[in-house]
Amino acid sequence: MPTVSCPSCARALDVDDDYRDWTVRCPHCATEFVPAEVAPAPFERSSRRRRDERPRDEYDGYERPRRRRERDPERDEWEFHEASRLAHGPGTWLEVCGWIGGLLLAGGAVYWFIIAADAGNNRNDDEVTAVLFGVFSAVCVVPYTVVMVVGGRKLRALSSYGWAMTASVVGIVSFFLPCFMCFCAFIPVGFGIWGMVTLNNPVVSRAIDRNSNGRVREYSRGWDN
């Protein structure tokens, strides 16, 4: 049975084949017309509820599951050992530079205070400058030593990206410290660059991330218990 549109109200009407050439009357607007002389009604899709017409509780909070890469224990173990091997060198030398740099800063503070005392006895104008250098060196002893030593250990243990990166940056800027104004100033710079290059290695960064997340999960389980 064909479907045609009323030329007046555009309603879809079902007309039997036997009456296509007859004059029929629209039951909605009473318009008379010949079905064979008008255009067929447009195709209407079966009524389906679109997603936005469904009750919201059917799809609220629904997320398509994502495939996650399966962990390979052997590969993870290899990456951890490789990261430990790569991080051991710069981590150790950053820690060594921290201890030596702390001793040099402490020695520099003592040296500048002695110079200041000698300048004061000789009524020299260099007394204030020496005191400033001594105070600056003394103030830098603790932060420099702590950052370099802790950062080097964290890098060697693959336990903290932030500490390791901070130690590398401090190693690079070590030549700005007053008591390092000599050829020794460039030794921590090299180890700082080495540390930054190591931290930018994807194997090392992934190992640090997994190690940190593992400790967080263990801490959470202990807290829950």
Which residue do the tokens 């800063």 mark?
105
**167/24: higher pLDDT:** 167
Which residue do the tokens 């400790």 mark?
215
Query: What kind and span of H or E run contains 160?
Result: none
Query: What kind and span of H or E run contains 32?
Result: strand 32-33
Query: What kind and span of H or E run contains 24?
Result: strand 24-25
Is 0.85 surpassed by the pTM of this model?
A: no
Which residue do the tokens 């104004």 mark?
181
Q: How far is CA 189 from CA 137, 142, 203, in A?
A: 19, 19, 23
Residue 23: the pLDDT is: 79
Residue 69: the pLDDT is: 57
199 token code pair? 């931290």
Residue 49: the pLDDT is: 46
50 token code pair? 């679109």
Reply yes or no on whether the pLDDT at 225 is more than 90.
no
Chain segment 37-77, per-residue pLDDT in tens:
766 655 444 444 444 455 555 545 555 555 555 667 788 88
Q: How far is it, in rounded angstroms, from Cα 131 to Cα 149?
A: 27
Reply yes or no on whether the pLDDT at 179 is more than 60.
no
Give percent of the chain with pLDDT exceeding 70.
Answer: 67
Give percent of the chain with pLDDT exceeding 90.
Answer: 22
- Name the band, by pLDDT with cuts 50, 70 and 90, for residue 213: confident
Cβ–Cβ < 8 Å for 33, 7: yes
Q: How far is it, in rounded angstroms, from Cα 36 to Cα 20?
A: 5
**147/5: higher pLDDT:** 147
In this structure, the number of other CB atoms found within 10 A of the CB of residue 82 comes to 14
Task: Output the CA torsion 177→180→186→189 (10° steps).
Answer: -30
Q: How far is it, in rounded angstroms, from Cα 91 to Cα 150?
A: 9
Chain segment 81-101, per-residue pLDDT in tens:
999 999 999 999 999 988 887
Residue 151: the pLDDT is: 93
- Outline where the chain has alpha helix (H): 73-121, 127-157, 161-172, 186-199, 202-224
Lowest mean per-residue pLDDT among 6-15, 56-65, 108-117, 214-223 = 214-223
11 Cβ contact partners less than 8 Å away, ≥ 6 residues apart: 5, 26, 28, 29
Which residue do the tokens 């951890």 mark?
80
Cβ–Cβ < 8 Å for 203, 82: yes
Query: How far is Cα of residue 9 from the mean position of the Cα atoms in its chain?
Result: 62
